[in-house]
Amino acid sequence: MKIAAILLALSFAITARSQNTINSYRYVLVPQKFDFLRSDDQYGVNTYTKLLLQGVGFNAFLTNEVLPPEVAANKCNALKAEIVEKKKFLTTVLTLLLKDCQGNVIFKSGEGKSSAKEWAVAYSEALQNAFASLKAAQYKYDSTKAIQPMETAASAVPPASVAATASPVPSAGVVAGTAAVTVESNNVLYAQLSPNGYQLVDTTPKKVMTLLKTSQQDIFIADDGVLKGIVFRKNNEWFFEYYKNDKLESLKLNIKF
C-alpha cells in the first residue's frame, strides 16, 4: 500500500508538471555558455538572451549571478534557457528553448535568421528574430498556476506540512541580483553611428568599444576587444558592466552622442 501511494503521488506530480506553460514560471536561468559557442558569453549572446527574456517579463539571471532564495534553494522553480544553432550556409539560424528542471521543453521559438557576415551582428539579429514568437506568446506570470516542486518518494508519504516565509524578489531590470562597484572613467568617448549600433572612439581618434543595438532602448551589447558586457543608461548616465574573474564590475562612461 505504501509503495502504491508513493507511485500515485509521483504520478500526480509528473502529470501536473507536464501541464505547465511558460506562465507558470517567474524565473529563467541563462547559462554562461551555450553549446555552439567557444567561450563564456561569446559575442554577448548569453547576456543578450538574458536581456531579451527580461524584455518579455521574465526575471532572468545568468547562472553565475546571485539568485533569488527560492531559485537558489530549488532550481525547479525556474526554467532553463537554451539557444540552439542550426548549421546553414551563409545564414545564422537560432532557436530558443525553455526547459523545466526535468529537461521537458516548455516553449520552443520559431527559427530566428540573419544573413549578416559578422558573427556578433548575425547572432544579435538572429536572437531578436527568434524572440519574436516568444513576444507573440504574450507571457504573463500567473501565480495561480505556479509550479509546485516535485515531491520525492521520501516526502510523498505521509504528506508533510512545511511553512515557508516568502523572501523579497528582485524585479526584472538591467542589473538584477548582483551588486557592482562602479569606477568612473574620465576619458571622453564619441559615438559614431554604425549599421547595427555605434562604435566609441577617443580623442586620438582610436576605436575603443563596439556597441550593438538590442530590442531595449538605451541598452547595448558591448565589446572593447577584451571584455564583453552591456552598456546602458541610468539616470542620464552611461555604464559599462561586465564580469571579470567571476565578479561583476561597472565602469561609468562619458559618452558624447
The pLDDT tens digits for 162-212 are 333 344 444 434 444 455 667 777 788 888 888 888 888 888 878 889 999
CA 188, CA 142: separation in Å to the nearest integer? 46
112 belongs to a structural domain: yes
Angle at 100 between CA 36 and CA 165, to 5 degrees: 130
List the grid coordinates of 224: 572593447
What residues contact 165, with CB distance under 8 A and at least 6 apart?
none
Last residue of a domain, one of 117, 136, 154: 154
Q: At residue 1, does pLDDT exceed 60? A: no
Res 57: pLDDT: 92
Res 181: pLDDT: 60
Residue 65's CATH number: 3.40.50
Task: Tell me the backbone φ, ψ of residue 134, rounded to 5 degrees.
Answer: -70, -40
Please check whether residues 141 and 17 belong to one and the same domain: yes
What would the mean pLDDT of 10-19 be, rounded to a whole number? 40
Domain encompassing residue 39:
2-154
Q: Is the CB of residue 121 less than 8 Å from the CB of residue 212?
A: yes
The pLDDT tens digits for 22-63 are 999 999 999 999 999 999 988 889 999 998 999 899 999 999
Please check whether residues 60 and 103 belong to one and the same domain: yes
CB count, 10 Å around CB of 128? 18
108 belongs to a structural domain: yes
Question: pTM of this prediction?
Answer: 0.60
CB count, 10 Å around CB of 112? 21
Q: At residue 147, does pLDDT exceed 70? A: no
3-state secondary structure of 87: strand
3-state secondary structure of 250: strand
